Structures are given as C-alpha cells and as structure tokens.
Amino acid sequence: MKSAAIIGGTSHPELLRLISQRLGIKPCEVSLKRFSNGETSVEIHDSVRDKDVFVLQSGSSTVNDSLMELLIIISACKGGSARRITAVMPYFPYSKQSKMRKYRDAITARMVANLLTVAGVDHIITLDLHASQMQGFFTRPVDNLYAEPNIAEWIRRNVEDWQEAVVVSKSPGGAKRVTSMADTLGLEFALCNTDRSRRSHFPRSMDESIMEEEHVSNKQSDHPRIHTSKYLLGHIVDDEEVVGTPASNVSEDCQLENTYSQGGCPSDDEEEEKIMSASIFTERMITLVGDVRGKTTLLMDDMIENPTTFIIAAEHLVKRCGAKRVIVMGSHGIFQNNCLRDLENCNYIEQIVVTNTYPIKPQALAQSTKLALIDISGVLAEAIRRTHNGESISFLFKKAH
C-alpha cells in the first residue's frame, strides 16, 4: 500500500491507531486547530498528490465539529490532488434522521450525503447504517459493512450457553437484524413490541378482557409464547397498580394519534422518543412474542443511545417471561448522558456489549463493570486494504476479523 495514505480526525484517535497498526501505515501528520471564533482549520503536512487517501472520522459527542472536520479534510485532500478520497465513517452521523417523521421535517442524513459529495469524496465506507436505504442518498459508491460476524464470534467465545440462547429485538423494527443474527448462530429469536398509551382511567372491564384473553392463550401451552406487561415510570409494574391521570394529558394522546394517522404507524425512533417524553401518569404495554423461559437472552439493537427501552425490555424478559439473564448488545455504543450508568445499575442486565465504532471516554470504560468492547478495527482495515487493491469486500459480510 505504498500509494495509500490514511488521515484521521479528532473524533476517534484510538480507532485510528488500531487500524494503522493493522495496515502497517503511519497516519499522515495533520494539524487540526480551532480559531478563537470557533472556526476549524486543517493543515496536512504530508503530500497526498496522486495517492489513495482514506479519511477516518466517526460520529462523536461533538458531532457537528467532527462532521465539519471531515468535510474540511476531504476538501484539503481534493485541493492537494489526491487520486481518490474515501471517507471511512464507522458510525454515520445523523443516520437517525433519514426520513420525514412529520411535515416540514428535514431529511438531514441526505443533506450530509450531499455535503460529502460536494466536499469531494469519491467513496464511503461505513458500518451498520441505521437505515440501509440511506445508501440511495449518495451519488458515490457506499460500502455498508456489518458488525454481525464479529458480534457472533464474540457470543460463541464468551457466552457459555450460547447454543440455548434466544436473540431478542426490543422493537419490531429490529426484526430483520435479530433474525439475521439468529440464522448466523442457529438460534431462535423473539420480538418485543411497545403498544400505545393505556390510561389508568380506562374501564375496568377492558383490563379484565385483556387479562382473560391472556389467560386463554396461556392455557393452550405450558410455555406461552406471548407475554404482556404494563410499565410506568420506565419500569414494569403489577396490574393492580393504578395511577390517576390528569385530564390535560388526554389532548396530548389525541395529538399523537393524529400524527400517526398522517404518517402511518410510528417508527421505532418515534416510539422510543415517545417513551422518553411520555407523561409520568402514562401507562404503556410491552409484549414479548417468543419463548425465553430459563434461557439467556441477547437483547440486540444497532445502537445503544438511551437506556429506558433496554431497561424496560430487560425487566419484562426476566420478571414476566422467566429469562435466565439478559445481555444487551449493539453495534454503536453512543451512551448519551447517563445511559451507561443507568444500564450498569439495572439488576436485570448482566452485561453490555458494543463495538468500538463510537468513541467512549476512558473514564467510563474504567468505571464500568458490565461493559465489553468488540474491536472492529480488523474489519475496517481489511476493507481499506481490499478497496485500495481493487478486491471484493463481500467476503467481509460473513467473516469476522
């Protein structure tokens, strides 16, 4: 790789070091400065003329600064007569804003794709896009790699009874992800679904009818495959617990239902936001379809950003469904605010497993007793090598590195 060069921004220096070691390439020296007025300045000290340049920059807690750095570095390489510029973005920023949820919403992920193209990028390498159809936003080739082979390999090596485990999605939108992992490992899978708000002022007869339907379904099997629980304040509660509901909250529910009628069923992101912003008086229902009794459950999603939905699902799996233990797994460990601390404090979660696509503060890593990191640098390094040599990367979709 004599004609290749690798440049890293400030978002994830540790991942840059790991990839450079695997490739045997020393990263180009770059000066990244910030003027007193907040503007970013980039100066590349090594020549990139007629070179195959790979720019590594992942999303981070300072996402706007990281994105601007990436754009400026790409533009600087373009001005330096680089032969080809590839943006290596392990976590693609703004990937959750890939469609209009409401009227007058911006499709920000498409705008980021346009910005990269205008800056001069020729190729994009990323990993586990939040929505795979985002590849259609680009007019340049996009290689969307998968963390699944590495996660599956970690499960085989570190989960003792993995042959009897069940892969669980915390939302219906993750069905494709968990079924793919279940097929890779030869395991069963299950799905969780969060229903719309149920007010405690509903007639008692409705609650009784729901319980009667569950009782009938449970009589058909010693191990029922449908389990429903009620949760309040982010935790599973008993059916007997009743909380009064102010009348002012009714109009809020009506407004949410009107929003859904405009755009169909809510997406998983909308559902998670609704859970996070729900009134403390709002009762909601969570349902598991599948059998996890006495088994290890692998609760999976593409990113772990907020703790609430994971904690609710973990409590439901253990308290109501009889799961042996819960391991939370994701490709991108974003851990906003106190997310990691809250997951650590949840007694129903045994371990938290993520890849190192997203930078995690060393202090948080040192203090955590449940967090395990999967090194993804091998996949990215091999993708860079194969791209530079003109080789196929489809081999990486099924093989761990």
pLDDT digits (tens, 9 = 90+) for 264-318: 344 566 556 655 555 455 778 889 999 999 999 999 999 999 999 999 999 999 9
For residues 155-162, give the mean pLDDT.
Answer: 96
**What is the number of alpha carbons within 13 Å of residue 299 lying toward its C-beta?**
29
Domains detected in the chain: 4-145 (3.40.50.2020), 149-198+227-235+271-375 (3.40.50.2020)
pLDDT range class, residue 99, cuts 50, 70, 90: confident
Which is higher by pLDDT, 268 or 18? 18
Whether pLDDT at 230 is above 90 = no
> At CA 344, angle to CA 343 and CA 350, rounded to 5?
90
- For the stretch 116-140, pLDDT in tens is 999 999 999 999 999 888 989 999 9
